[in-house]
Amino acid sequence: MSYIINGIQQIGIGVTDAKAVYNWYKNNLGFDILVFEDKSEAKLMTEYTNDEIMNRYALLSMNLVGGGGLEIWQFVDRTPVPQYPNFNLGDLGINMMKLRSSNKVANAFLQDPWNNWVQIVRDDYTFCKSNNGQGGVMGAVIGVSDMEKSLSFYKRLFGFDIIKSDSIGTFKELEMIHGGTTKLRRVLLSRSATEKGGFGKLLGPCVLELVQALDRTPNTIYKNRWWGDLGYIHLCFDVAGIDALKKASELMGYPFTVDSANSFDMGEASGRFGYIEDPDGTLIELVETHKVPIVKKLGIYINLKKRNPGKPLPNWIVKAMKIHRRKKDL
């Protein structure tokens, strides 16, 4: 079996107070579906935590308007290291996430209270309607050092085969961001493949914007830091056929650095996950979802291992996740 990329499942954010971050994104940007809340040891991530097993507290929140979610990740027994203080656009790693919105805004940039950059992108894709039209994660801006090498990586492994734009210069809309006044190459990518998999319709179409600094040597955002330290820690794709993807990535020279094997339990959800690094070391998580709660109070879960991996779940089943919508803060 070949593999299927169903879309961006979530983006990971390292924080000091997971509940505060969850509440802010719930109240301001519509991430009000609490898919899981889990406290456990990150035994499989010692590759990126200095060979130490770290306790962590994690929340996964979704926005049913459409798009990926937020995995909000907090060390329990370690003070996380802050982001590189002199971040510049084009530094190597995840620079910001892109959130879709049906409101009449375009290329609006903001920082959350923890200094994470967010781009609000005008996009009409909708899975569930909402009053404010604010949707979930539709992509990310990733700093790269060699554009052609990175283009090959994301096209061949993840199907980002459409170049929507390719521009070189300085860009007025980026002036408020550190490094935004320097000469950059920006390439915006999308996928010709349509949404598939159990939650493909919820995740919706996705994009990546690769940014290369042309007149300076970029820093590496996560240099000398641990996975889980503050800021964007990984970009996660929802996949089916993870064994086939593992073989394909190895043949390209990007072996899995982490592999949970079989099934990994996240408390109320389970699946298999792995990590690879893009050409600049940016962490890409790959998750093959096996079980996910639909109505936890009634013990209703979806077992995706028994379904056709290319067939979306009926809309009414996915929309039943509304029962996990939280109005009150954690």
Prediction pTM value: 0.94
The bridge status of strand 231-240 relative to strand 93-101 is unpaired
138 CB contacts (<8 Å, ≥6 apart)? Answer: 8, 67, 68, 98, 99, 100, 121, 123, 125, 204, 205, 206, 207
**Which pLDDT does position 189 carry in this prediction?**
98
Which has the closest alpha carbon to 187: 220, 216, 162? 162
pLDDT of residue 106: 63
Give the pLDDT score at 262: 64
Q: Where are the domains of the chain?
A: 4-324
Per-residue pLDDT reduced to its tens digit, 42-65: 999 999 999 999 999 999 999 999
| Nearest in space to 292 (alpha carbons), one of 6, 34, 35 | 35
What pLDDT is recorded for position 185?
A: 98
4-324: CATH, from 3.40.50.300, 3.10.50.40, 3.10.180.10, 3.30.70.1150: 3.10.180.10
Q: Count of residues for the chain? A: 330
pLDDT at 269: 62
* Contact yes or no for 119/98 (Cβ under 8 A): yes
pLDDT of 302 strictly over 80: no
pLDDT of 268 strictly over 70: no
Query: Could you tell me which of 200, 202, 198, 197 has the C-alpha nearest to residue 301?
Result: 198
75 band by pLDDT with thresholds 50, 70 and 90: very high
- pLDDT 10s digits, 319-328: 988 888 989 9
Strand partners, 303: 291
**Contacts (Cβ under 8 Å, ≥6 apart) of 313:** 198, 199, 201, 302, 307
List of residues 6+ apart from 26 with CB closer than 8 A = 32, 61, 326, 329
pLDDT for the residue numbered 299: 60
Other Cβ atoms closer than 10 A to 263: 13
pLDDT for residue 264:
59
For residue 1, what pLDDT band results from cuts at 50, 70 and 90? low
Q: Which of 125-134, 262-271, 315-324 has the lowest mean pLDDT?
A: 262-271
Does the pLDDT value for residue 30 go beyond 60? yes
pLDDT at 311: 86
Mean pLDDT of the chain: 91
- Confidence tier at 33 by pLDDT (50, 70, 90): very high
pLDDT of residue 164: 98
Q: Where are the alpha helices (DSSP H) in 146-264?
A: 147-158, 200-203, 242-251
